[in-house]
Amino acid sequence: MIDLAGKVAVVTGSGRGLGLAYAKALAAAGAAVVVNDIDADVAEQAVNDIEKAGGHAVAEIVGVGPTEAADRLVARAVDEFGRLDVMCTNAGILRDRTLKNMTDEDFDLVIETHLRGTFTCGRAAAARFREQGGGGRLLLVGSPAGQRGNFGQTNYAGAKAAIAAICWTWAMELARDAVTVNAVIPVALTRMAATIPALREVTEAVERGEPVPPAMRRSGFGLVEDVASLVVFLASDEAAEITGQCIGIGGDKLSLWSRPAELVQAVREGGWTPEAIAESFQPVFGSTLQGARPAGGR
């Protein structure tokens, strides 16, 4: 059994959905948890549920993004429980539009919550980890959309792709402080998944209490509780040597995402003219070009 007794975690956006599953699972494993949401009622209900199950939790009602919000979350953990060991940056919103229809506000709101919220909360947590010593865990929540794009999600996919790059960067920068940084790439049948037409019917069935079809579980679609298992593992001492990874989980499938890498290269003495590129591009690169494809999940 993985034991997180004595550890303290902050989970942003944990009043509902995946974040709530993460908070409950961390608490069930023994961690004290700061539940965060912008909705006070759902945050307090989450705290009540955790405490009724024998766990320890408090709620901090604030929208992530601003530095002040991140500082409040870290301070609440320290004031209530004496320390901070885990920061899970889960909070997010959707404003899906195709490029021609996406407004500045649609873009900015998603970037503020997902990307800036990850940055400010991660920075605040890292500062606390250094101050108290002993390392820590940064668990950044990415998405398949950030790994390979998704139609209608310029803002969301852009933010999640940046989070993957942040994961790799912070893993290098924080290694000397014994802080591990990993990105969870979740797939679960949530309210967010229900916005995908192909998943609406099965998501509604799951919400009614029906099981996820076995074939879907094998392909990587499951419940929020399935994803929470990975969060608990990465928060534990058993994951002390794992850092800088984007790890996918959903249903019955656990996966490791690759980092972008050069597929093919060509060298031309003296450099490349436009004409030389035109002459060589298809013969050299044509067979390895990567076409656009749907993300298949968020």
Active-site residue list: 143, 156, 160
Beta strands in the chain (DSSP E): 8-11, 32-37, 56-61, 86-89, 136-141, 179-186, 245-250, 253-257
Asked if 133 and 88 count as a contact pair (C-beta separation under 8 A), the reply is: no
- Gap between the Cα atoms of 77 and 59, Å rounded: 10
In 3-state terms the chain splits into helix, strand, coil percentages (rounded to 5) of 50, 15, 35
Token pair 């019955």 in the structure block, residue: 252
Asked if 225 and 263 count as a contact pair (C-beta separation under 8 A), the reply is: no
Q: How many CB atoms lie within 10 A of CB 9?
A: 29
CA distances from residue 13 to 5, 60, 298 in whole angstroms, order as listed: 23, 10, 16
Q: Please state whether 13 falls in left (phi above 0), alpha (psi between -120 and 50) or beta.
A: left
- Gap between the Cα atoms of 89 and 105, Å rounded: 22
In a 13 Å sphere around the CA of 2, the CA atoms on its Cβ side amount to: 21
Tokens standing for residue 54:
């024998």
End-to-end CA distance of the chain: 30
- Gap between the Cα atoms of 20 and 233, Å rounded: 16
